[in-house]
Amino acid sequence: MILPTRMSRLTLIAGLLLVAGFMGAGRLGAQSNDDGATYVPPPGTVAPVAPPLRKGSPLDHLANDPKMESLPAGFKEGNTSGATYWVAHRLVDPMEGEGWGWVRKSGDGWGSGIWIALQETPGLAVAPHRKLVKADADLDWEYKFWGKMAGYKAYDPHLDEQLPVFILQGYEVIGPANPLSIKSGPPGRIQHRPSGASSRESRPILSDPGVD
């Protein structure tokens, strides 16, 4: 009688040990979830392949909508209903950075202009140049922008710079304007010199950030 009892206890202990082990590991375990659809490449093909365009998606519109030479004054996209707007002046960065241009509040002068990275809202409002045949065809054009400044910054890997972000929610085309005489780039941009005279902290990162 004693032997079976001991064996039962041992079995119980072993079982509980196993359970406790799982409980202990569970605190560090994976956040696993097996649901969700899985994209399956078409038969006979292997990844990497681009999945088919979703009809009506922002990418579908970008890829397939006809492009224009220029946008007509008064052309609108997105939410343009607010009384408060920003005036935006497009410039392709002469330093080859990725900034979009300047914005200023509608009642202010260009002295308070802010050099921005433009965060588009696909499906609502995207950068006006995406509708153009040439991406730089709106150089020195001005727009009314609706949206807001983001609470975070963007990093431009080409110039190792951080830029304020404007989140675009709507725009209206004003039209061509005279070039502005204010300095492009974010505050604190120095004129990078390839001589290496600039410091380690501020020198440009001119290498391509891409990896594939």
Partner 1 sequence: MRLFLTLLTLALLGTLTASAQTREEIVLTGGPALRFMEHGKGAVSHDVYWFNFVDASVIRLNELRAQAKPDELITWLIYRPGYAARGEEMGVDLLAQLQAKAKQVGANIHWFDSKEDLIAYLNKGLDRDKIKISNFDYFGHSNKACFLFDYSNKIDTMSIAWLHVKDLRLIHDDIFTRDAVCKSWGCHSGEEYSQWWKSHFDVAMIGAIGKTDFAHGGLPALSNSDGKWTQ
Residue number, 126 or 173, with CB nearest to partner 1: 126
Residue 10 φ then ψ, to 5°: -60, -40
Binding region for partner 1 (CB under 8 A) out of 48-56, 78-86, 87-95, 180-188: 48-56
Q: Which of 1, 2, 3, 32 binds partner 1 (CB under 8 A)?
A: 32
Question: Could you give the 3-state DSSP secondary structure of residue 121?
Answer: strand
* Residues in 134-153 that interact with partner 1 by CB under 8 A: 152-153
Tell me which residue has tokens 């397939």: 64
186: burial class by Cβ within 10 Å (0-12, 13-18, 19+)? buried
Q: Which of 5, 33, 81, 191 binds partner 1 (CB under 8 A)?
A: 33
* Distance in angstroms (rounded) separating the CA atoms of residues 85 and 98: 23
Q: Which of 7, 24, 105, 136 binds partner 1 (CB under 8 A)?
A: 24
Q: Which two tokens stand for residue 173?
A: 């085309």
Q: Is-contact 189 156, C-beta < 8 A?
A: no
In the complex, the smallest distance separating the C-beta of residue 209 from partner 1, rounded to whole angstroms, is 4
Binding region for partner 1 (CB under 8 A) out of 74-82, 86-94, 107-115, 119-127: 119-127
Q: Is-contact 16 10, C-beta < 8 A?
A: no
Strands (E), the chain: 76-78, 86-90, 101-105, 114-119, 141-156, 161-176
Q: Is-contact 152 72, C-beta < 8 A?
A: no
Q: Is 48 in the site for partner 1 (CB under 8 A)?
A: yes
Q: Which of 2, 3, 6, 35 binds partner 1 (CB under 8 A)?
A: 35
Question: For the window 190-209, what string marks contact with partner 1 as x by the rule CB under 8 A?
Answer: -----------x---x-xxx
Contacts to partner 1 by CB under 8 A: 12-13, 16-17, 19-21, 23-25, 27-39, 47-51, 54, 57-59, 62-63, 98, 117-120, 122, 127, 152-158, 160, 163, 165, 201, 205, 207-212
